[in-house]
Amino acid sequence: MLHPSEPDIVSRVDDIRAKVARVKDSISRVIFGQDAVIELVLVNILSGGHALLIGVPGLAKTSLVEALGAALGLDAKRIQFTPDLMPSDIVGTEVLEEKDGRRTFRFVPGPVFAQLLMADEINRASPKTQSALLQAMQEQQVTYAGQTYALPAPFFVLATQNPLEQEGTYPLPEAQLDRFLLQVDVSYPDATAERRMLYSTTGTEDRTVQPVLTAAEVIAAQQLVRQIPAGDSVVDAILTLVRSARPNTPEAGPRVNELVAWGPGPRASQSLMLTVRARALLDGRFAPSIDDVIALAKPVLRHRMALTFGARTENVTVDEVIDSLLAKLK
């Protein structure tokens, strides 16, 4: 039930749902055949987290981020990660200035000072450079030369990664992976969507995305998500799922102990609590259900688990392990 101190929550949910539906519709006009991906990224935005988009080149991951920035009214910037990228290329640097005979250092902010930051092919930069994003992603601020600088609000990192081409890449540190609220796998569009894409992208159709929300409205939507109540059954489902994915614990079964090298930490439970509420809001519902937990289990858990060598030799995937755990909730 809704909290009695929030008599207007129904109208606020309806208002946000309608506006987010317009955002989704606007993005769908330029991004074809990726409705599930768009929904997950919007859930991510409403939850106030960061997302890792994984897919082969040419699936409109970059275009999706650009369309999101336009539709949400956010200041969006892009960084192309390369092996020679330095931390200062992300955070910023100091320049020496002379004025009235005095020399002083002035901090010049880098591209991380944006509301929506696209980290393109994030695994191509060295771990030292990737770590420059850690403080920004966790604390929404950066420290340079002993001074701390706040980032704009809201602040999101949407990173892309190519799962095929691994030469000249670096695995993301587990601590950084855990900072991503969701891992969104981007697959090929179906034949109908690809046919629409052919006509739209090679013709004269106007594909400009119009602003629907403002940054202030995005922040208000994030605050509303945290006010949506989650019932005990949903909380129990989240705890059962996450705790059973951790090997060598009382909740883990023998198969998990055999297949999983390390499992999700408490941040996975927190992520599920936020995202199931955001998914409910996206659908215009006033409380999440166990179906939301099931729908979001893989995007929340797949990058927070690692398989044993034995599991990999059996060609077992993380998604298959998660499916076996979800059977307990159905």
Identify any residues that bridge with 54 across adjacent strands, giving them in sequence order: 161, 185
Q: What is the pLDDT of residues 174-232, one digit of tens each?
A: 888 889 999 999 888 888 888 888 888 777 766 778 888 899 999 999 999 999 999 99
| pLDDT, tens digit only, all 330 positions of the chain | 445 445 577 788 888 888 888 998 888 888 888 889 999 999 999 999 999 999 887 777 888 888 898 899 898 899 999 888 898 899 888 888 877 778 888 888 889 999 999 998 888 888 888 888 888 888 888 888 888 889 998 999 999 888 766 666 787 878 888 899 999 998 888 888 888 888 887 777 667 788 888 999 999 999 999 999 999 999 999 999 999 999 988 888 888 899 999 999 999 999 999 999 999 999 888 899 999 999 999 999 999 998 999 888 888 999 999 999 998 887
What is the DSSP track for 139-154? HSEEEETTEEEEPPSS
Tokens representing 286? 């006033």
Query: DSSP secondary structure string, 241-279?
Result: HHHHTSTTSTT--HHHHHHEEE---HHHHHHHHHHHHHH
Q: Take residue 38 and report the two structure tokens written for it.
A: 């768009």
The pTM of this model reads 0.88
Domain architecture of the chain: domains with CATH? 1-83+114-213 (3.40.50.300), 228-330 (1.10.8.80)
Which class for 186: exposed (0-12), middle (13-18), buried (19 or more C-beta within 10 A)?
buried
Place of tokens 């909290």: 3
**pLDDT 10s digits, 268-289:** 999 999 999 999 999 888 899 9
Q: E strands along the chain, which residues?
A: 50-54, 76-80, 92-99, 102-109, 116-120, 141-144, 147-150, 156-161, 180-185, 260-262, 306-307
The alpha carbon of 329 is separated from its chain's Cα centroid by a whole number of angstroms, namely 25
Please tell me whether the peptide bond between 154 and the residue prior to it is cis, using omega within 30 degrees of 0: yes
Measured N-to-C along each axis, helices 290-301 and 232-244 cross at an angle, to the nearest 10 degrees, of 30
In the structure encoding, which two tokens stand for residue 90, read together?
């992300």
Classify the phi-psi angles of 315: left when phi > 0, otherwise alpha if psi is within -120 to 50, otherwise beta. Answer: left
Helix-strand-coil split of the chain, %, nearest 5: 45, 15, 35
CA proximity to 62, closest of 122, 21, 22: 122
